[in-house]
Amino acid sequence: AQSVAQPEDQVNVAEGNPLTVKCTYSVSGNPYLFWYVQYPNRGLQFLLKYITGDNLVKGSYGFEAEFNKSQTSFHLKKPSALVSDSALYFCAVNSGNTPLVFGKGTRLSVIA
**Residues of the shown chain interacting with another protein in the complex, contacts defined by CB under 8 A:** 6, 9, 32, 34, 36, 41-46, 49, 51, 90, 92, 94, 98-105
Residue 17 Cβ vs another protein, minimum distance, rounded to whole Å: 26
Closer to another protein by CB, 43 or 112: give it. 43
Of residues 43 and 53, the one with the C-beta less far from another protein: 43
Nearest alpha carbon to residue 74 among 18, 3, 15: 3
- As a whole number of angstroms, the distance between CA 24 and CA 7 comes to 8
DSSP string computed for 42-72: S-EEEEEEE-SS-SEEE-GGG-EEEEETTTT
Min dist CB 79 to another protein, Å, is: 25
Q: Nearer Cβ to another protein, position 40 or 70? A: 40
Output the smallest distance, CB 55 to another protein, in A. 19
Nearer to another protein, 44 or 82 (CB): 44
Classify the phi-psi angles of 16: left when phi > 0, otherwise alpha if psi is within -120 to 50, otherwise beta: left
Pairing assessment for the beta strands 106-111 and 10-14 based on DSSP bridges: parallel
